[in-house]
């Protein structure tokens, strides 16, 4: 199967760290992605990780991959109000299309 599951909602206070989790079932995925969608906008590619990596850090973003458990997480350090958006986890590989989770709405409270 190709299901991707995410929790629906996460609320944090400004300055705290946010951790958004994702689980997937397709073990043949080569790339795993995090996209951000703000209201009325398209999807912004935030970061991605290859399936042979455990961790990737990009400024305030840290991606952790546990391939054995098929679990992916996105940590946002020092979360700001501008980080409020819907975050989508997605996976793909080769010529296959992206398969998306249902998205996690992140609300950052001042």
**Residues that bind another protein in the complex, under the rule CB under 8 A:** 31, 33, 35, 41-45, 48, 88, 90-103
Minimum CB distance to another protein, residue 49 (Å): 12
Minimum CB distance to another protein, residue 26 (Å): 12
| Smaller CB separation from another protein, 70 or 91 | 91
Strands (E), 30-101: 31-37, 43-50, 55-58, 61-66, 71-76, 85-92, 99-100
Minimum CB distance to another protein, residue 100 (Å): 4
Q: How many helices (H) and strands (E) does the chain have?
A: 0, 11
């Amino acid at each position: 199967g190709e299901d991707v599951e995410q929790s629906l909602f996460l609320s944090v206070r400004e300055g705290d760290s946010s951790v958004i989790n994702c689980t997937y079932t397709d073990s043949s995925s080569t790339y795993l992605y995090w996209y951000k969608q703000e209201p009325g906008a398209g999807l912004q590619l935030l970061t991605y990780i290859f399936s042979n990596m455990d961790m990737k850090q990009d400024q305030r973003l840290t991606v952790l991959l546990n391939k054995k458990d098929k679990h992916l997480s996105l940590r946002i350090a020092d979360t700001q109000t501008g980080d409020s958006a819907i975050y989508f986890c997605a996976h793909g590989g080769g010529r296959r299309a992206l398969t998306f989770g249902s998205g996690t709405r992140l609300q950052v409270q001042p």
